[in-house]
Structure 1
């Protein structure tokens, strides 16, 4: 085995984050006091630009970015506290979420100074939104098989191809997209991850078409994005040409390890506990206890990955564990809720619990798609454990 099984070590929040947590919790209690449980269930898939701008005004977007770009030079622990409180409260964070979580840090790490000055201040103000262009038709989470191409045209680039399952592309201003470049333009090239590069794409550019993929709830979170001879300037290349695989691998650790990977269904746990009340029977007490224990275990795993990221490490397999186990938890929660409490899901009426249960039942199938399918994640985990 190449490495010991021990990447998950117990972590405690630094004491100085306690005051920040209380500030965020107090702000959310007042701001979201009239927000229904059903709307809270949408959480990080629900967009509210005004709310995002208010978070930016308070310094709670782009927190870990340097102050010279509008950030707070905050630690990953401080950002985690804010993210956790927002998600636990069911706050509408979708507008700025990807820019805050991964696009900003990626631009800081790989971007030019011009790119940093152009994008990072707007991200920190909660005014510039990004989406992530990775998955493609017939590729899914197998990023090494993507076919969309970027070809040099003078000093710039021309993009052609298609991305799919692109969350919030319809509200985003920009995309960080992964494309084949140079000799790697043939998707059957060996190695398959050769010749991949990342680009900063203005989604209002001529030749970009965004089409919604409507989910079972009628929500428009996912999209198809088409590129038809989209012309980009030389400053659109993010990082180093041909190094996109290494860059996107680092990006995925941020995407797969955060609290959103196990808090997407937290509104249902809240309504379930309220519906059961203070006198649960033996089955209800046991199953709710198990759910809370699993939730705390996932949280601790996520904190361990945060510690690895804070130390400058690349915890790819640990992050994959959090994402895989988190999706299992989120998808099982509606089933367990139905098994221990006799109330049918309801759409357009009924109790808070019945409405949230119906919404989560319809959303849950997508939880094991976003951020990487279960099969891909378990392949990464197996390699990390030296099993393949």
Structure 2
């Protein structure tokens, strides 16, 4: 599909004015970078980055049985979550594979917001609607009219304070304490230009940060206000640096570390499946019946030098036998050496095991290490 035929976010004109380079991501024309992948990555680690994530999906469930419907539909126990909190969970197939990983926000006792990955947004909305049958709940896919802007990095809280609490900001119902006292995976609701805005302390970079959900028509003004208030503390960032940031933080990417042909336990996500705390749900029987004996598991790998193994590269043991494949890999901008995630046989998954990755036909010695590779100070 040509770039001009792709879906665009409400911020496309802003990205063009900033000189962004675009790419096709899940059918969306998205900024992959504005300047340099490396500079944008380092800006997030040192100060703050500004991201357009409006290609993500936003699906609302409202009704007296919204919590029960989500308990049935997702692998986590969402009905036990307090208002104002968010939870990471999985949408599973009947067989226990992963359709998507999602974040769910409890907006009110009878109102939840499920945020889906761009590549799965329509599938997730259809699945949630189907799984809500028989429950007293309404499912509404608001993806087409919702924008998502993220501010990520160690000074993100101060930038939000300077932007949203300034006189004439257009924000009402938000206090300084709402930001400073907001813990990770919590959120606050307020209004921006008279319409609802949700501000969550969530992100996909391994840094402190916030994600702001607003109606499409308010995305450009909000971006501009953040840019002005942020000044040289805030750098517009594309999807390329978001990928290296999440890799350093050991966060899975759907299609790489998660998929329909993988069980959650293979990706280190077994803890997300609420087998002990709730009853039946879609995928429970599949997870419980899964035979993981010969299934590869996800590990972290590090190497020396500057050559990095990329996705799908073969991984071999010391005797030259193929034992797995890289799922994501890059030269870490923060750490200065190659890092990767890989699915390997359980016999070589122990921390400290020495393996070899193929890099364009050349052997790269790698070592199994714990994840994440980077943890903010």
Please say whether Structure 1 and Structure 2 have the same fold, judged by a TM-score greater than 0.5: no
**Quick check: which one's helix share is greater?**
1
Q: TM-score, normalised by structure 2?
A: 0.30
**Quick check: which one's strand share is greater?**
2
